[in-house]
Structures are given as structure tokens and as C-alpha cells.
Amino acid sequence: MELTAKNNKKIRNTVILIGTALILITVIRLNYPLLQQSPSLSSYKEYSSVVHAGRDIKLTNNQEECDIFTGEWVRNTDAPYYTNKTCWAIHEHQNCMKYGRPDSDFLKWKWKPDGCELPVMNPYQFLDMARDKTIAFVGDSVGRNQMQSMICLLSRVEYPIDVSPTTDEHFKRWTYVNYNFTLAYFWTPFLVRSDERDSDGPTHTGIFNLYLDEFDESWTSEIDEFDYVILNAGHWFTRTAVYYENRRIVGCRFCQIPNITDLPMTYGYRRVFRTALRAINGRKNFNGVVFLRTFAPSHFENGMWNEGGNCLRRRPYRSNETILEGLNLDFYMIQLEEFRAAQREGKKKFRLLDTTQAMLLRPDGHPSRYGHWPEEKVTLYNDCVHWCLPGPIDSWADFLAHMLKMEARKTSTERPFQRQKKMH
């Protein structure tokens, strides 16, 4: 009788354990859909050894030669790979589902380059590539938007811990302990030294002094320790500003101050990129790679951001349905020209993270009015600048993962050549 009771107890315990395991597996699969298609442990270990071998990273010839930045958005029923309930890193103003966005179709797309496939970023693979590395996002709040997207995508494997040296939310650092991988964010919306001249001004958004030829040392003095720097700027240049060069006023952008020449905003935009890239080229101890992330257009219709404009479209454009024009085209071309000039100097490694075309086609991916409660008073009431999380900006991680693989291949092919030179 005692043996029978013990056996029954063992059977009950076994059934409970199996049932609990099945429930956990179901919960994980529902909340983390990417894990349904993640590699097995054996294939993950195989990938890990491939990454560390560098030159053996598997990219097909057409992936290596393909322009990943020209293409179309195609359906992706597997997305999204996280939700606003599974990721704590989402900024309130980009938390579209929390604030009542009624549609979710904008989540179900991925970028498809012409002529090749761009794999969705695998968080295990990315963290393995990023092991012992550091990445800094330098620029405005769209750069922060990108960093928070990255944290959410990687949260399926690990959450980072906050190791910020200051309580200032404009300068954050996060470390993935199990990978010794650090993400940092440096707030510098103008890239150069700046200060607020007037909190109101003719457009009631403040007037800023921009010192177009002076480095912003809050980030330029910090980048030496980083392996990768992702640089961006753009949307703040529509604000009124007074331009300085050699500590003297040379003009302004719609400042309406007597005896100051009005200059186009592209004047300041070109010079700040020139100064920022010159700052990087001049860092003797910086040996990392700089990714210039190109301008991501806003999509205000029927008025500017402070004139009731909004973005209410509910599907992506096809590439033949819209064109890059006006200020968007001006900003993009300035970035390309200054990028190429910095590259020609040959002092540092510069790469182009060209998100402009892909994001031009996504008028449906902005928070619009769904970044706050309806009764809240906020400056950017209809937000057609930033991107919902989850949302189209998650595809930037796919671009970055591909580019890091390319960097690993370049590094591994350079090493034998460098060793050969030393021997001679």
C-alpha cells in the first residue's frame, strides 16, 4: 500500500511538472514570437563560432553586393517581435498602442531590398557579434528612438542594466552583462555647441545660438572608447536659430532680429555636419567605425507640426508613389556630400546607414495623436517625426546587423594583410 501511495505521488508530481512546463512554453511563444523561429542551441553554437572566425560569416554574394537601402516594404506576418507590454524601454510618446492607436497593420511589414533578402535581426546573433563591443547613438530624439527600439528587440534575450554615469536622461548608458556589450546615448540635436538664446521667439519654439564651427565636447570628447558611433541630426534645424562662425554672427534662420541676414536652414545644416565629421577625423585615439544615419523624413500633411498638421495614412507607400523632394532631398544630399568629403580624408572609417528611402515610404508608422492622452497638453500634439514602438524603426536593426556582419568580414580579411606588412 505504501509503495502504491508513493508511486501515485510521484506520478502526480511528474504530471504537475510537465503541465507547468507546457504552460510556460505556451506563454513564452505567445509573448516572444521570434523564439518560435530562433535557431536551435546547436545551430546557435555553430553561428557563434562563425562570428568569432570573422571571415566565415555567411553572406551570399548577392547579399554582399546588394544595395540593401533600395527596395520596398513587404508583408511580414511574424512581426512584431515585442509589444509595449513586454518591453519597458519604450518612451511614452512612442507608445502608440498604450494611447489607443486603433489599427495594428502598420506593424506587419519588413524591408525587402531589390535583388536580395535582408534577414530580420536575430537577437542572439546580434548580441554575439556585439560581445565586448560598445555602440554610441549620437544626435537627437530620433537617435534615442532607435536605441530604444534596439533595447526592445534585444530584450528577448537579455535586458541591459543602467550604468549611466549621471542622472541626466540626455546621456544614458546600458550594459548587457552576459555579453559585456554597452549601448550609450548622447543628446546633441545640433551636433555642434549650442545654447538657447530665447525660450519663445517668432515661432514660439525658442531661438538657439548655433556655433557652426565649434565641437560639442559633450560627445566629441567621449567617443574614443566606442567601437561604433551612429550619428544623426535633422529635425531641430527647422527651428529658429542664430548662426555663429569664428564667434561672430554670420546670419540666422528666421530669427527676425534686426540687421541679421536671414539664411536658409541648409546653410547651418551643412556646416554642422562638416564640423561634426571633422571632430571625429581629428580624434587621435578614436579607432571605431562611424555610421552616418541619414535623415528620416517626417510626414506632416495639411499643415506643419505647429499648425495642426497630421499623419493619418494607414499603409506604406510603394516606391513609385512618392519621391524625395524639397527640404528632405536637401538634407539628404548635404549628408551624402559631407559624408563623402569626410571619407576622402581617409583618417577614420565612415559608413552610410541610409534609412531615408525606407522611411520616406512609411507615413503610417508615426505616433500621430497616439503618443499621449487626448486631454494632455504637449508641444508635439500630432507626432509625425518619431516612430511608434514597435514599428517601422525596428527595421533599422536589420540594416545595422547586416552592416556589422560586413564590418566583421572586412576586419578579418584585413588582418592577414596587416600581418604580412609587419613581417616585411
Active site residues: 141, 383, 386
Grid cell at residue 350: 565612415
From the list 194, 269, 257, the residue with the least C-alpha distance to 232 is 269
The dihedral region occupied by 64, where left means phi > 0, alpha psi between -120 and 50, and beta the remainder, is alpha
Rounded to 5 degrees, what are φ and ψ at 241? -155, 155
Angle at 336 between CA 405 and CA 189, to 5 degrees: 90
CB 281 within 8 A of CB 348: yes
The one-letter amino acid code at 118 reads L
- Contact residues for 68 (Cβ-Cβ < 8 A; gap 6+): 113, 116, 118, 399, 402
Quote the CA–CA distance of 208 and 100 in Å, as a whole number: 35
Please list the residues that pair with 173 across neighbouring strands.
184
The one-letter amino acid code at 56 reads D
- Contact residues for 379 (Cβ-Cβ < 8 A; gap 6+): 205
Quote the CA–CA distance of 260 and 242 in Å, as a whole number: 9
